Amino acid sequence: MSTSAKVGIVMGSDSDWPKINAVKAALDEFDVACEVHVMSAHRTPGIVTEYASTARERGLEVIIAAAGGAAHLAGVVAAHTTLPVIGLPVPTPDLGGLDSLLSTVQMPGDVPVASMAVGMGGPRNAGLFAVQILATADVDLREKLAAFKENLVGKIKAKDAALQEKLT
């Protein structure tokens, strides 16, 4: 595994980690090094600005920003970097994550943020999407992604075969 992080994962609260740790698991599957931090667009705006504006010089190539509720973290990060930013809306008890999703996807023009799903596959897909972004310039990652996709086909075929056997 690389010793220098290529992906930054930031979250608005440490209570988000259990909901989003599949991001790191997906990156680990592809041996993509990452760093993980807690910072808040509202409570620590200076820290967010510093983190985002210096990310490229620290070697990061993609940033995943997870937040719930007002979920402005991805947008604030995107405002301070030219790196790709992936917004990960975190489910909330009050509105089930709809608030997080809408805050993440409603970015103004000229400040792009890719947005993943709330819950379920969102965290894993954020990690996989970061891998796909990195793979545009990394042949080894492209090969790993191709093998991953082939493996998915095998898994689904096996599940279908098992279902067909149960049905007969």
Task: State pLDDT tens for residues 9-51.
Answer: 999 999 999 999 999 999 999 999 999 999 999 999 999 999 9
Q: What is the pTM of this model?
A: 0.94
Q: Are residues 68 and 146 in the same domain?
A: no
Q: What is the rounded CA–CA span in Å between residue 12 and residue 57?
A: 23
Q: Are residues 165 and 120 in the same domain?
A: no
Please answer whether residues 85 and 156 qualify as being in contact, where contact means their C-beta atoms are separated by less than 8 angstroms: no
Residue 2 covered by a domain = no
DSSP secondary structure letter of residue 95: T
Q: What is the rounded CA–CA span in Å between residue 124 and residue 21?
A: 8
Q: Are residues 146 and 118 in the same domain?
A: no
Residue 168 covered by a domain = yes
Q: Are residues 148 and 124 in the same domain?
A: no
Residue 1 covered by a domain = no
Residue 100 covered by a domain = yes
Q: Are residues 37 and 20 in the same domain?
A: yes
Q: Are residues 76 and 112 in the same domain?
A: yes
Model pLDDT for residues 108-152, shown as the tens digit of each residue: 999 999 999 998 899 999 999 999 999 999 999 999 999 999 999
Q: Are residues 159 and 112 in the same domain?
A: no
Residue 127 covered by a domain = yes
Q: What is the rounded CA–CA span in Å between residue 73 and residue 12?
A: 7
Burial 68-89 (b: 16+ CB within 10 A, else e): bbbbbbbbbbbbbbebbbbbbb
Give the residue from 145, 126, 127 showing the smallest Cα distance to 135: 145
**For residue 2, pLDDT beyond 90:** no
Q: Are residues 85 and 162 in the same domain?
A: no
Q: Are residues 98 and 156 in the same domain?
A: no
Q: Are residues 145 and 126 in the same domain?
A: no
Q: Are residues 144 and 133 in the same domain?
A: no
Q: Give the structural domain span for 70.
A: 7-137
* Residue 100: φ, ψ to 5°: -65, -45
Total domains present in the chain: 2
The pLDDT value given to residue 120 = 87
C-alpha distances in Å from residue 53, one per residue of 18, 32, 34, 46, 120: 27, 22, 17, 11, 31
Please answer whether residues 48 and 91 qualify as being in contact, where contact means their C-beta atoms are separated by less than 8 angstroms: no
Residue 71 covered by a domain = yes
Residue 82 covered by a domain = yes
Q: What is the rounded CA–CA span in Å between residue 59 and residue 79?
A: 18
Q: Is 167 helix (H, G, I), strand (E, B) or coil?
A: helix
Q: Are residues 57 and 124 in the same domain?
A: yes
